[in-house]
Amino acid sequence: MQNRDPRPKSKNGDFKIEFNKRLIRFSLEIIKFCGLIRRDLNLKPLTDQLIRSGTSIGVNIVEAKGCGSKKEYIRFFEIALRSTNETKYWLILIRESDTKNRERAEDLLDEATQIGKIISSGILTMKGKNY
């Protein structure tokens, strides 16, 4: 006899789990990328900022889970969105100044853009604005 969880699986719950995993993967990829390009002294200040902003996205989404109110929950998502936008900025600067790693920067920029769209959509939904 199988021991099955009687609670139905929520597609929304599955999405949240997968999105959190995606944010962790993104953070790890940012850290690896920065480790690769950090040797260039001109890029070191950019990589420091990129690590802060790139890892902050997931941290703020996770932090939102502990909020006591919907308003506070939305606020953490808004902070995560701002971190996403900052991350995109640093990636653009790196992409334009480091031709050796331009393709990898572009891949990370694409992922940051997709993550930003998901977060933005979530904020609009939470605020009840379906655009």
Tokens of residue 51, six digits: 């690590």
Kindly give the confidence (pLDDT) of every residue in the chain, 131 residues in length, as a single tens digit, with 9 standing for 90 and above. 444 444 344 566 798 999 999 999 999 999 999 999 988 888 999 999 999 999 999 999 999 988 889 999 999 999 999 999 999 999 999 999 998 999 999 999 999 999 999 999 999 999 987 54
pLDDT of the residue at 10: 54
pLDDT of the residue at 11: 66
Topology adopted by domain 12-126: de novo design (two linked rop proteins) (1.20.1440)
Residue 70 contacts residue 126 (beta carbons within 8 Å) = yes
**75 CB-near residues (< 8 Å, 6+ apart):** 67
Q: What is the pTM of this model?
A: 0.86
In total, the chain counts a number of residues equal to 131
pLDDT of the residue at 97: 93
Exposure b/e, 48-80, CB count within 10 A at least 16 = b: ebbbebbbbbbebbebbeeeeeeeebbbbbbbb
Euclidean distance between CA atoms 128 and 50, whole angstroms: 32
Q: Position 8: which residue type?
A: P
Domain regions of the chain by residue span: 12-126
Euclidean distance between CA atoms 43 and 18, whole angstroms: 32
Tell which residue, 28, 31, 20, 35, has the closest CA to residue 115: 20
